[in-house]
Structure 1
Amino acid sequence: MKSLIASVVVSFSLLAPVAYAADDVSTPLASGTRIVLTDCSMLQDDVTPSLSAGVLGAYKCTPATNTIAVATCHTAGRTASRSIDVPCVQTLSDPAVEGEVQCAAPNTTVNRSTSTGAAIYVGRTSGGAIGPVALDGSQCLQATINGKI
């Protein structure tokens, strides 16, 4: 019996790193493909995203900060020079919250950015705001989206 219990414990310890392999990794979102607990250990239920045609997306679960982040952009979206308002906070969180941006001016909730590139929108469970990241000339590519979260 002791050897059976020991083998079960060893089996679970070997499977533990595999069970939540998607945590802390930017993972492409595929429309209609279910995200389950083994994809993100922070989920309470399965999630099935629905993306419009031409929309690329990614998600990242970060248990250490208790954050799930989602980023999207449209492959045919605007890339010309323009100004956007990037959500910001007056005081950065302690401990740091991934993706949090400090406001450049007092008494504001956005930083205005003027540049070119794909509009990549990010939402995080840690802040509740969904908004664009600063324009940096990037194209709407899967690798670019993965790098924003």
Structure 2
Amino acid sequence: QKLGYKDMKATYKMNYEDNIVINYVRILDNISIYPEQIKVKIALDDGSITGLEGEKYLIAFDGERKIAQPKISKEEAAKAVSDRLKVNTVKLAVVPTETNQEVLCYEFAGSNHNSDYIVYVNAENGKTQKILKIINTPNGKLII
């Protein structure tokens, strides 16, 4: 916050030798804004900040951002998620597309056969937008 990054929440972290890298995303009205993210590299020995990656945040930040209401309900969006996924959490999120657009989605986080996944369902049309697999490593979580 001292650097002007407000309303940020830590989402993932990864250890690298003597440092930890923490991803933060902006939270607006309880909605995660993934295009507005930063990565902070912190030394484990003294807690000093040794790196900051804020390019995505600077490109995507919109201080006047207005988020439209979802056109479908959480229950309607859940129909696009496999019954095999044991859903742990559901929340709204703005996610980037491959063409650098932004889409409001329902984020379903859950597990299937000892693997963790995040499924993003478009909150406008109910179609699956993106599926990510989370791999737990000794150094933290890797998202693919």
Q: 1 or 2, which has the higher strand percentage?
A: 2
TM-score by length of 2: 0.29
Looking at CA atoms only, which structure, 1 or 2, has the larger radius of gyration?
Answer: 1
Which structure exhibits the higher relative contact order, with contacts defined as CA atoms closer than 8 Å and separated by 6 or more residues?
Answer: 1
